[in-house]
Amino acid sequence: MRIGVYPGTFDPITNGHIDIIRRGSKMVDKLLVAAAENIGKNPMFSLRERREMVSAEIDAIHKENVKKGIQCEIEVTSFGNLLMHFVEQNNAGFVIRGLRAVSDFEYEFQMVGMNARLNPEVETIFLMSSEKHQFISSRLVKEIATLGGEISDFVTPQVKERMLKMINNN
């Protein structure tokens, strides 16, 4: 069984993340979408809330995959340890990462090197963001929403609703 891990903070999950999950699910038999605890990034949403948002979006992808005959099991999980330890604990052979720009590549290039030193058996697969998602980042979406901008092009209606509720309650 080919098991892949798509790690991220998903604070919040964006249409760009959803695109990578959709495309990554075509490459493996099982895809673990793993929300990182990542307290250092000062997330807007708790780990539980981020997992809930990701799970809600995964349901739609799973239904699309079934219609297309794609047999990938997609599971939402989380981790708070080293990515390579999480990958090993779940018998995964692949890490799936999205790339938006050259700046992403530089960071990811360093991470691949470090991860390869920790576990040379794990392969990293990079998926280029589609042209309509290349500029989307969770950080920018949060900033736009916090300042009263429109975020409908960047997140699903459910995520937008949760973000606005969070912003209005603070």
| Cα distance between residue 36 and residue 165, in whole Å | 23
Task: Assess whether 17 carries a catalytic annotation.
Answer: yes
The alpha carbon dihedral of 27, 101, 122, 38 has a sign of negative
Task: Assess whether 100 carries a catalytic annotation.
Answer: yes
Spot the catalytic one: 2, 26, 41, 48.
Answer: 41
End-to-end Cα separation, the chain, in angstroms: 45
Spot the catalytic one: 17, 22, 30, 133.
Answer: 17
Task: Assess whether 130 carries a catalytic annotation.
Answer: no
Contact 50, 68 (CB under 8 A): no
**Amino acid residing at 155:** V
Task: Assess whether 51 carries a catalytic annotation.
Answer: no
Spot the catalytic one: 55, 100, 137, 160.
Answer: 100
| Cα distance between residue 65 and residue 60, in whole Å | 9
Spot the catalytic one: 25, 78, 129, 138.
Answer: 138
- Which token pair is 105? 């590549």
Contact 40, 80 (CB under 8 A): no
Which residues participate in catalysis according to the annotation?
Answer: 17, 41, 100, 138
